[in-house]
Structure 1
Amino acid sequence: MAGIDPPLPEDRMLVEQLRLQLGNVGSSVIPTLLVAPTLVFVLANPSNGFALGAWCAAIIIFKLFLAWDARRLLETTITPVAARSVLGRKMVLNLIDGALWGALAWAALGSTTVAGSVLVVATLAGVAGSSMSSLAPIFPLFVVFGLSEAAMLSSKLWTMDDPAYRTLAVAVLLYIAALIGQARNGARAARRAIALGLENVGLVERLRVESEHAQQAHRTAEEANLAKSRFLAAASHDLRQPIHAQGLFLEVLARTPLTIEQKAALANARATWQASAEMLDTLLDFSRLEAGVVKPVFQAFALQPLLNRIENELAPLADAKGIVYRSRETRAVVKGDPALVALILRNLVSNAIRYTDDGGVLVACRTRGGSVSLEVWDTGVGIEAAHHQTIFREFHQLGNVERDRRKGLGLGLAIAQGLARALGQELRLSSVAGRGSVFRFRLPLARAGMPMAPAVPDKPAAQRSFDGMRVLVIDDDETVRTAMQQLLRAWGCRCDVADSIEEVLIFGTGHRPDLAIVDYRLRGHSTGADAVATLRREFGGDMPALLVTGDTAPERLREAMATGVPLLHKPVLPGELHRAMSDLLAGRMPDASASTLDVRAPAV
């Protein structure tokens, strides 16, 4: 029947029965040492003194032997194969033990008083009763002991040629029969207890094995996740270097005289580069979440300017597909990190536009109690209930088995979920396949008196001229150095390049740089942070510096963020680089150094 465990193997049960019975043997030694001499003292007389003395010596020696033998067996491992032979040996020993106790009747009865005879019978009855409890784990052992003792006692009583004694002989046999019946019940109870104990041991062992398997699976999953992160970081770094240089070269090329056809080709090249950069930025956002460097800065901010900005950015994508993009007006002021909230909404809206071919996308805010529910509705393909959890996994996409790069990497929803959790919220989904989806997350309403986030300017601030400014670039990639040098010179800078801090110290630049742009991961074990520290010791501690990195490994991100030097991530948009340089030279901290995920700026 289902749910019932199969019976335990008989040999295994016998092993446990033997160990339980052997553990009871020692408890009968002291009573024997006390009772046997006492009986000799009370019953002995000139006619039976020798017989009682011999009996006393025999029973004590044999009981000590039984105790020694039991301890010896308990100290060894009784295998299921050997259990049967041990049982046979124990049955012989208990047969002898019973006969020795019964021999007391032959040594004392008929040669002592009536009171002494009563004492002998009572003693043997008590020995039989106590033996029942100690031998009960193995029913056959008590049977041979009880029958052996009863046979010795009853045979002596029967030979005493007195009807009363013969009646007592029959009574002894009936008493032993009753004890055997009780012993059978005791043996069954002992077997059930042993079986339960063995089943519990089995359950504990299975639990231990399953726990070990679960721990091993967890370790394997963690190792796989670390291997995945290392692979992504290595692949991302190696891809970022040439794409970073490509973007810089394209910017330099855009500043040269070009024909109409060349401008069209350049626009296509820049669009392709932009798509590659955006995918790498998505990987960077995911790596930042894994590294734990995303630290929300909670402040009060109005939702409507943020919704307007996202609509201005993404509505053209909806228009290009012939679908409607709408966002409802709201006056809500919420508590959160505006940069993270913007990135969550941008991912959700981009995802909605990507998977909607008819109808449209709606961004709405609903005030409920002390919070606001931000919702992104679409009339797209919808998501089946079975996939409502899996779509939040990284690199998981529905309906993109061909891995169309235009549909992204499958990280948008994973990033949005991670950012929502960083804000202490949960991203929720309601969807019907074929009818559309709605993603929503909540933000608390701002309390009166909370500091407000600065308003986002509609147009980027004017950027300063770099004419005549001296810039030092340290990067171990020759292509990147060349691209940076050409771009900075196109901006009017005087640019010196080096592949290491050692090259700068050996050959020198001849002048103190106005700004240093240093790659974070240099040759050997040197880092950009080390190089910046050396430059500031050489040229002054107030020298402005920027770190640039293509490394997205979580531990590298944490190290770089801990330096306090502004950090840009390859591929760096020329406009982003220009703005960061302008901010540094004006004494401001560039936006790119903030701990939140920054929003990419348009190219200059």
Structure 2
Amino acid sequence: MDASSPPRPGTLAPDAVAHQIQVEQIRLLCGNLGSSVVPGILVALLIVYALGERAGLWPLLAWAGGVIVSKLIDFADARRILAMSITPQQIGAVRRRLMLLHGLDGAAWGALAAVALDTGSPGGSILAIGVLAGVAGNSMSILSPVLPVFISFCIVELGMLAGWVWIMHDPSLQVLSAAALLYVASLLVQARNSARAAQAAITLRYENTELIRRLQHESERTQQALAQAEQANAAKSKFLAAASHDLRQPIHAQGLFLEVLNTTPLDPMQRDVVAKLRRAADNCADMLHTLLDYSRIEAGVVEPQVTRFRVQALVGRISQEMAAQAEAKGLVFRCRESRAVVSADASLTELILRNLVSNAIRYTDRGGILVACRQRGGQAWLEVWDTGAGISAAQQQEIFEEFRQLGNPERDHRKGLGLGLAIAQGLARLQGLTLSVQSVPGRGSVFRLTLPLARQDDASLAAALRPLPPPVRHDLHGLRVLLIDDDQRVRESMAQLLEHWGCRCHCAESLEQAEALAQQHLPELVISDYRLRQHSNGTDAIAVVRRVLGKPVSALLITGDTAPARLREAAESGIPMLHKPVAPAQLWEQLQRLSGQARQAHPR
């Protein structure tokens, strides 16, 4: 053990801790001695100077020499003690040696009474008594950490003073001596208190050291646990991203095959089976898209595009899509008309409202649902009311956490994944909006999205209120499409659907094949999966085709990735992107837009 640093009590028995506290008291005393050597020597020399003529120079020089030697011996012994490691067997001997040496130091100082009191000068006697009392007071602050050492010094020093005064039979000196003894008695009380305080401080130091050690240990454990949790979370995210991608591929292909099958002649029973298969596929796609929405928010690839729009148009679309779901459960679905025009991202706001309405339908068994918008000052409160089971106050913040569902311990898939409200909250924060809930258990809930109203004097407000022109429909017949995907099922299903729509489709599974087919068929549109083999991606493939053609051919990325890093990479490419499983209607709408651009770039 290093003699300069205390051990850790947490590793010692109680007796060993008590021993270490005693050792620290001794070290404190020895450390204090250095500050008293020079002042003590100077005081002795001043006494010689002040009383040399009255008491005799040589007796005083002899006394001062004894004091100086005593001080130097005490200092040297203190340095030796500080440099040694004191064992439990040595502690008693060290204490006794300190008592002996400081008792001799007290005798050296006390000898001043024999030299200076019998001078016939009251001033000299008063000076001698005052010096001895002052030395005793100074010793209290230095020696009190080990109380027996201070007592030893005082008894010898002031005992010699009292004895010499008693022999002299001088009443005035006896009074001064008695006052000095009373002063020393008070010093003993203070020394006892000081010793207790020193012991308490040392004990507290050990307790703090132990507390710091435990905190460091717990901090290390916390850091290790955090690192393990981060590693586990990264591994989980990587696994879920890979599993999600692999799961999306067959579901994507299944949806495209079912769309082709649905357009063929079928008897009633076959059509009913196909309809049920499509509903099952749509259910899987909905859950996967929910995970995708959450991943896109986590990846930070969602950027709000603020526009002015009518709230009623958004509410109307939600009503057309979801009223049937509510009525199928026997619920009353109502929407209140609103003339509010707000400033926000219309598509993100619609997704928030869709999640709120879907959640209300899912957790309401009787009564109804109301979607309404109220204007309050410069804000619009877009609200979804339900008569469901309600939410307790303690759980009203928990429901916005990921994968948190109330009242679904069996994890019924019909009640979703527990991400709808987390997604809604994330999209609201992304736009700087506030999403809140008020609920009474047993009576229902109201979810409120606060939106800023558009300024009435805004020049673009009229454009926002103007109805959109009907979309231009393009004939896809004869459109040359190059499809790049390394999954055979996806290539076959996509090719069949594109050819059913009239496109001339050529398929490639690698960059090399894509380059060769581009040179042969001069595609007008490129559709590529984002993740391809040999660590290449769809943006690389599209760049190769454009280089072959020597012009920026229209392109579309389709990805099944949900990993945040890949989502960011794909979004940064600037190429339009759809996420697997892609609904046929969604693909059709995107092809309508891109085919118009392709025909303008490649007129026939």
- Which TM bucket (shorter chain)? 0.7 to 0.9
1:370 partner amino acid = G
Is contact 1:299-1:450 (8 Å) kept? no
Residue 538 of structure 1 aligns with an amino acid whose one-letter code is V
Question: Structure 1 pair 550/120, CA: closer, same or farther in 2 (3 Å)?
Answer: same
Q: Among 353, 364, 377, which residue is 2:385 paired with?
A: 377
Q: Which residue of 2 aligns with 1:143?
A: 151
Aligned-partner residue type, residue 373 of structure 2: C
Aligned to 1:183: 191
Say whether residues 1:553 and 2:569 are aligned partners: no
**Residue in structure 2 matching 1:338, options 337, 341, 346:** 346
Corresponding position of 1:423: 431
Give the alignment of 1:68-79 within 5 angstroms. 68-70=76-78
Deviates more, 1:508-517 or 1:265-274: 508-517
Q: Which residue of 2 aligns with 1:600?
A: none
Number of the residue aligned with 2:539? 529
Q: What does residue 432 of structure 1 align with?
A: 440
8 Å contact from structure 1 (residues 358, 380) kept in 2 = yes
Aligned-partner SS, 2:247: helix
Displacement after TM superposition at 1:61 (Å): 3.6
* Alpha-carbon distance between aligned partners in 1 of 2:76 and 2:573, rounded to the nearest angstrom: 74
Query: How far did residue 275 of structure 1 move?
Result: 0.7
Q: How much has 1:347 moved relative to structure 2?
A: 0.8
Contact 1:302–1:333, Cα closer than 8 Å, also in 2: yes
Q: Give how far 1:232 is off.
A: 2.8
Query: Contact (CA 8 Å) 2:55, 2:115: kept in 1 or not?
Result: no
Q: Which moved more, 1:28-37 or 1:198-207?
A: 198-207
Distance (Å, rounded) in 2 between the aligned partners of 1:460 and 1:108: 121
| Secondary structure, aligned partner of 1:427 | strand
1-structure distance, mates of 2:447, 2:93: 73
- How far is 1:314 from its partner? 0.7
Q: Which has the higher mean CA deviation after the structures are superposed, 151-160 or 457-466? A: 457-466
SS at match of 1:429: strand
1:349 aligns with 2:366: no
> Which letter maps to 2:540?
D
Q: Deviations over 1:145-200 (max 9, x none)?
A: 21121123333334446566566555543342232233334445556666777777
Equivalent pairs counted in the alignment come to: 582
Q: Is the 1:496–1:509 Cα contact (8 Å) retained in structure 2?
A: no
| Kept in 2: contact 1:347–1:412 (CA 8 A) | yes
Q: Name the counterpart of 2:43.
A: 35
Cα distance between partner residues in 2 of 1:220 and 1:84: 51
Of residues 114, 124, 131, the one that matches 2:132 is: 124
- 1:449-502 Cα offsets, whole Å, 9 max, x none, are 063475798997354222222211222222212222222222222222222213
Relative to structure 1, is the Cα distance of residues 341 and 89 closer, same or farther in structure 2, using a 3 angstrom cutoff?
A: farther
Scaled by the length of structure 2, what TM-score is found? 0.86
Q: Describe how 1:87-486 pairs up with structure 2 within 5 A.
A: 87-106=95-114, 110=118, 115-160=123-168, 170-188=178-196, 222-223=230-231, 225-448=233-456, 449=458, 451-452=460-461, 461=471, 463-486=473-496
Tell me if the contact between 1:15 and 1:78 (Cα under 8 Å) persists in the aligned partners. Answer: yes
Counting aligned pairs with the same residue, the percent is 55
Q: C-alpha deviations, 1:97-121, integer Å up to 9, x for none?
A: 2222223334555478665444333
CA root-mean-square deviation: 3.5
What's the counterpart of residue 587 of structure 2? Answer: 577
Structure 2 contact 514–541 (Cα < 8 Å) conserved: no
Q: What letter matches 1:123 in structure 2? A: V
Structure 1: distance between partners of 2:412 and 2:78: 77
Q: Is the 8 A contact 2:519 2:548 kept in 1?
A: no
Normalised to the residue count of structure 1, the TM-score between the two structures is 0.86
Unpaired runs of at least 5, structure 1: 1-6, 589-604
* Partners of 2:509 and 2:430 in 1: CA distance: 38
> Are the counterparts in 2 of residues 11 and 81 from structure 1 also a CA contact under 8 Å?
no
Moved more, 366-375 or 225-234: 225-234
Contact persistence 1:299–1:451 (CA under 8 A): no
Unaligned runs of 5+ in 2: 1-13, 599-604
How has the CA–CA distance of structure 1 residues 236 and 74 changed in structure 2, closer, same or farther, with 3 Å as cutoff?
Answer: farther
Q: 2:359, 2:469 → 1: CA distance?
A: 26
Report the 3-state secondary structure (helix = DSSP H, G, I; strand = E; otherwise coil) of the residue aligned with 2:520: coil
